[in-house]
Amino acid sequence: MTMDSAEKDVLELSLRCPKKMKNGPCGSSFDGRCEVGGFCVWKEIYGRLKEEGKLSVLDNVLGAEKFGYSPYSDKKAESFMDSKRFVITTEIEPPKGADLSKVKRFLGNVKGVSAINVVDNPLGEPVMGPFLPSLYIMKHNIKPIYQITCRDNNIAAIQSDIFAAYASGVRDILVLTGDYVTKNSKPVFDVDSTLLAYLIKTKLANGLDFCGRKIDTKMTINIGVAVNPNAVPCDAEMIKFRKKMQFADFAQTQAVFDPNMLDEFSRQMNFHERVLVGILPIMSYKMAEAMSKVPGVTIPEDLKKELKRDKGAGIRRAKEMILHAKELGFRGAHIMTFMDNKVLLELTKKV
């Protein structure tokens, strides 16, 4: 089987993936099981390629041929990653409606962060789009990280959102494939996050839309991607991650709670200077149980047992993970506190 035919076989098999992932498994599959149900087709693809000695097929950006090839631009815009200190980022969830008062209160009291993610319909639940909250973040002299999920929009709508964000001053965009949704909405998945990162860094950066037609601006955008150190098996996740990092200026990990797992992740990659480790303080045993049901999140049993005895165990573990990430040489930490200023300050004051 030639390399070309191997690529075609991968693309054909990937059509069975609910998210139409063309460049590796999503971060929500676990131990060969798909979050939507049944087995992950990428476990089969990875197994076949490994057996045939053709894992190098996965180094290519599969699906890019549909859009034509363009030169990659390594130009960077001014970014929160330019800081010489250990970088701290956090995130806000826009309102499910039009009331921005909670967002404004959080921004009025936030301290010690270099940038703030604006999440895009987390878990497929509709919230205000990231554009307006990003403007509020910039008013507080903090850089917004504008999230785009491939789940909700086709490539025309994605480009429209990027044009508006860029014109408003946004320069850092986090591209995500997105969780699968089945309730009251139909997922799109025109592209996956790997292909989207590629298109932004090759097409928009050269003054072209995704189909190769001229636009009026060459857009220098810093691209962020996600990676899940909790993935089982981890090999396929790491292959996809290394591919995405060809185009990414920074990466954020899924929340990590186990220092040993972070050690293993650290050993398998060499992008420490561009990676922010995901930190999620677990405030109670009930929260641990709820988060365990979120695709891609793994809560260690020892932490659950500690939380049964002491609610403060989650904060202590989060602090330990931040310091451990710093010791391992990671660029920073992305701290998810659900817009709780007190918890954020508690976790950042010694960092």
pLDDT value of residue 58: 92
Reading phi first (left if > 0) and then psi (alpha if -120 to 50, else beta), residue 53 is in: left
The domains of the chain, with CATH numbers, are 3-348 (3.20.20.220)
Residue with tokens 């990003």: 134
Q: In the beta sheet, which residues pair with residue 87?
A: 332
pLDDT value of residue 1: 36
- Residue 90's contacts (CB-CB under 8 Å, 6 or more residues apart) are 110, 113, 116, 117, 334, 335, 336, 337, 344
pLDDT value of residue 2: 47
CB 61 within 8 A of CB 242: no
Distance CA 281, CA 135 (A): 27
Query: Where are the alpha helices (H) located in 169-258, listed in sequence order?
Result: 193-202, 234-244
pLDDT value of residue 30: 78
Q: Please report the DSSP string for 95-150 in residue order.
A: -SSS--HHHHHHHHH--S-SEEEE--SGGG-----SHHHHHHHHHTT-EEEEEEET
Averages of pLDDT over each 10 residues, the chain, 351 residues: 76 93 88 86 92 93 92 93 96 97 96 96 92 97 97 97 98 95 86 96 97 97 96 88 96 96 95 97 95 88 95 96 97 97 92 74
pLDDT value of residue 35: 86
One-letter-per-residue 3-state SS of 49-80: HHHCCCHHHHHCCCCHHHCCCCCCCCCCCCCH
pLDDT value of residue 246: 94
Q: In the beta sheet, which residues pair with residue 173?
A: 146, 223
